[in-house]
Chain A
Amino acid sequence: MRGPLLEREQDLAVLEDELRAVERARRGRIVLITGEPGIGKSALVEEFCRRVAGAARVLRGACDALETPRAAGPILDVAAQTGGELAKLANEGAPAVALISPLLRELRRPTVVVLEDLHWADGSTLDTVRLLARRLTDVPALIVATYRDQLERSHPLLVTIGELPPGSARRISPRPLSATAVGELGELGVEQAERIHVVTGGNPFFVTELLAGAGDTLPAAVRDAVLARVARLSPHARRLLDAVAISPQQTELWLLAELAGSDLAHLEECVAAGMLQQAAATVSFRHELAREAIIATLPGDRMLSLHAAALVQLETRSPGPAPARLAHHAVALGDAAAVLRYAPAAGDRAAAAGAHREAAAHYASALGFGEALPELVRCELYEKRSYECYLTSQFDEAIRARRAALGGHAAAGRRLHEGDAHRWLSRLCWYVGDNASAETEAHAAVELLAALPAGHEFAMALSNVAQLRALSGDVDGARDWGGRAIELAQQLGDEDTLIHALTNVGTAEFDVGDPAGEPKLRRSLDLALAGGFHEHAARAYTNLGCELFIAGRRREAAEIFALGIGYCVEQDLGSWEIYMTSWQARLALEQGDFEAAERAAQMVLARGASAPSRISALVVVALLRARRGDPDPSRPLDEAAALAKATGERQRIEPVQMAQRELRWLAGEDDGFLPEPQLGEPSPYWAALDQLRSGEPALMREAHAQLLSLGATAAARRAAAQLREAGLTGVPRGPRPAARANAAALTGREQEVLELLGQGLRNAEIAALLVLSERTVAHHVAAIMSKLDARSRTEAVIKAATLGIGAR
């Protein structure tokens, strides 16, 4: 399978420029395309040849990867395509130098000569290339040669290239694909695309094979390609590769010396073969997939002994390496004690560094050997894993880990931890849109913890209920529960809970227009930022942005969302980033920036968002389709409605219901509906609808023009219909059968002209029939089109027909 050619336009432009230069100056040039195997040298040549086919003759030759290559193989390939004298000489087995003159005669007309894989060329091919290059000045030929970079220093091709006439050659090195291109190739979300980008190094061959392989397993084609390359290496070099392969990142030279001994002397061989790369005092594979291919074929005993040796070396090294590295070897060895010694520490360190996804994976590694752990320690690891999964939107995993922790705490009678686990489950259930379970868990937590001495856990349980109340729009409930939480948190000096509760109460109050709300929310944001409570800060940003948006303070909302999203990207808080992006989509929609709204909404949908984010994004997609008059607006809205219903939250359900009403109005099914005046700063779309509702002809016309300029085609159509209902003319008509004949106020003469237009007559013919000058007819036609607001004669006839005019 070959995907589309991505990110090669610049390279193709260079090739096309060179060919134009060759044709213009009738002077030959050489383009060298270099790069590692799989980077897409051949694909680039292929596309170039496809584009120039027809404009220039293309002759192609290739060297082959035989132990003993054919003498002058690619030149013989070219001769077979030209026929004539060149082919005759080649068939007779003439020496390569004797082919130069007939070849040059073939190149008198514009020709592209492709010579592929010159790193495998034999001596006579290289001689021919050298001679050809010197005599290229007289022929309009472009020589395109491909070869692998990273050749050994003594490779004969390097000598040939060094001897090319100065200024005659240009080099192109196709770059690895970007993560964006990888995503496009595989229709992947950002995270998946980045993961594949990392393991393949953007090498298009590896990317394509990995995508075609569908899944995490190493595709056979990649493994075969890698192993074929490995098979050419000496046994020493192969053993060195094994030693490097057991470490996913760089391996230090000192460690390799311990693991590989004298095989380390074969490092240059491995680098020249394109397998390894060296930077300062470390060595690594050029491609993660190549490393995986080696690992997949490494015999078990050899793998274990290498990992064991590496672990011993690294453990005794001072200063000690990162626990993540030690954990890697320990997991590979299946050494439970070592895994439990290093993986939890690796998780803690990753979490502290904001690498939450890696942290979650380290905790999972440790839990894989969790049976060897004391029961309490195991529960704590489950809790840590749950939290890291929660931060990275892996909600199902977060719930599973938290339930495991809950079970352990309950069985051991640790009431405090049990209560806290219920509170956490409440939060997680809310995230997946299961509000019924969220309520149950919230109250289970309060009940359990109320019986214990009041502490942080109880305060958080109270604040959690306040949060659920706030989310469902119950401001009194939020004030009540939140007030209790704030009071207790202040008594305890518990800043964490204080921030949480302030956010809950502040949000609920702001939401109902209580002026006490905004300062509470801003205070909790300041406290969270100052105290380094990342998640609280993200939530405060989110709630503040949403409330500003709802209050119609859209400019301030946009600022807060921009700050908040930046903060979340920095802190690796994916779920908050996506949620705020879904609000950015709504904001852009309201501000009339349809393209930005669409981009943001599509990003949210592509990243597998939680229910609340997905609802917002779906509503935006539906409204965009409906306002523009695009097909199928109700499909995304139906999905949003189902999701919103499951949450039972007013703040999710209401926007869906509003959108449903707007869809009906736009479809002309609900004439009674017109939007309420919007709070705060005017948004162009709603302002236009407000003008429409005024009944003032001038304002209504303005509204119509405004809707058209926003791209809200369907809304403009509705506006036009309302203008017509108000008896106003001069706006485009839709097919409204209610309009009476001659509503367009055509004169009698114009009606006659219209009838003849309908018969398909040209102006001259109409002029002859009506005994008028052609100019007068043209004038009538223009008047008809203007009155019917038609852009063409045909459109005028069609519009007239639907109005019942002109078809007497």
Chain B
Amino acid sequence: MQLYAIIRRSGFSSGPDLEAAAARSTRVADDQLPNDIRWIRSYVLSEQDGTLGTLCIYEASSPEAIREHARCAELPVDEIVSIVDTVVVRPDPAPVA
């Protein structure tokens, strides 16, 4: 397994849309591709056009596994980048309410 960053620009119209996508994503990853995909975490991006995007960190067996997961869970993929190292300076701050 290898760590990847996946950028999904303006993929979601609203919060509920994003939540539904997250549920699909978890289901597909856990049920259909449990040995190929592990969702680690995501940052939700506020896009200029009012939509939401995400920057997701996944562990995956290959870029194809990420594409397959995105296809099954109906998620957009703009870019997949290999992560070679992780530098944690401090934990993620608590989300703004």
Contact = CB atoms under 8 A, between A and B. Distances in A.
Nearest to B81: A631
Nearest to A601: B64
A628 B78 CA distance: 9
Contacts of A792: 46-48
A187 B35 contact: yes
Contact of A791 (B48, B64, B81): B48
A632 B79 CA distance: 13
Interface in B57-90: 62-64, 66-68, 71, 78-82
Contacts of A602: 64
Given A4-B31, A184-B32, A598 B64 contact: yes
B30 interface: yes
B92 interface: no
Nearest to B62: A632
A631 B35 contact: no
Nearest to A186: B35
Contact of A631 (B33, B34, B63): B63
A296 interface: no
A595 interface: yes
B23 to A, nearest CB: 11
B4 interface: yes
A792 B10 CA distance: 11
B31 A630 contact: no
Contacts of A688: none
Contacts of B48: 785, 791-793, 795
Given A184-B32, A621-B64, A791-B9, A632 B47 contact: no
B80 A630 contact: yes
A563 B54 CA distance: 43
B31 A629 contact: no
A780 B67 CA distance: 38
B61 to A, nearest CB: 9
Contacts of B31: 4-6
A187 B35 CA distance: 8
Contacts of A713: 78-79
Interface string B8-45: 01100000000000000000001111110000000000
Given A4-B31, A187-B35, A785-B48, A631 B9 contact: no
Nearest to B4: A631
B33 to A, nearest CB: 8
Contacts of A791: 9-10, 47-49
Nearest to B71: A595
Interface in A599-647: 602, 621, 624-625, 628-632
Contacts, number: 49
A5 B27 CA distance: 10
Interface residues of B, number: 25
A364 B15 CA distance: 63
Contacts of A624: 64
Contacts of A4: 30-32, 34
Q: Is the interface of B mostly helix, strand, loop or mixed?
A: mixed
Nearest to B27: A9
A137 B59 CA distance: 49
B80 A631 contact: yes
Contacts of B46: 792
A692 B82 CA distance: 29
Of B31, B32, B46, B81, chain A has the most CB atoms within 10 Å of the CB of B31
B63 A630 contact: yes
A632 B78 contact: no
Nearest to B34: A4
A636 to B, nearest CB: 9
B43 to A, nearest CB: 13
B30 A632 contact: no
A717 to B, nearest CB: 10
A632 B67 contact: no
Interface string A1-12: 001111000000
A302 B62 CA distance: 52
A632 B35 contact: no
Contacts of B35: 187
Q: Which among A5, A630, A713 has the greatest number of chain B C-beta atoms within 10 A?
A: A630
A187 B62 CA distance: 14
Nearest to A625: B63
A792 B48 CA distance: 5
A4 B37 CA distance: 13
A621 B64 CA distance: 8
A511 B83 CA distance: 44
Contacts of B33: 184
B82 A631 contact: yes
Contacts of B79: 629, 713
Contacts of B34: 3-4
Contacts of A793: 48
Given A791-B10, A791-B48, A792-B47, A632 B32 contact: no
A628 B77 CA distance: 10
A3 B32 CA distance: 11
A598 B78 contact: no
A638 to B, nearest CB: 15
Contacts of A631: 4, 63, 80-82
Nearest to B5: A631
Contacts of B64: 598, 602, 621, 624
A595 B80 CA distance: 16
A598 B68 CA distance: 9
27 contacts: A3-B34, A4-B32, A4-B34, A6-B31, A184-B32, A184-B33, A187-B35, A595-B71, A598-B64, A598-B67, A602-B64, A625-B63, A628-B67, A629-B80, A630-B63, A630-B67, A630-B80, A631-B4, A631-B82, A632-B62, A632-B63, A713-B78, A713-B79, A791-B47, A791-B48, A793-B48, A795-B48
Given A631-B63, A791-B10, A795-B48, 15 more contacts: A3-B34, A6-B31, A187-B35, A598-B64, A625-B63, A629-B79, A630-B80, A631-B80, A631-B82, A632-B63, A632-B82, A713-B78, A713-B79, A791-B47, A791-B48
Top 7 A-B pairs, shortest CB-CB distance = A630-B63, A631-B82, A792-B48, A4-B34, A630-B80, A4-B31, A791-B48
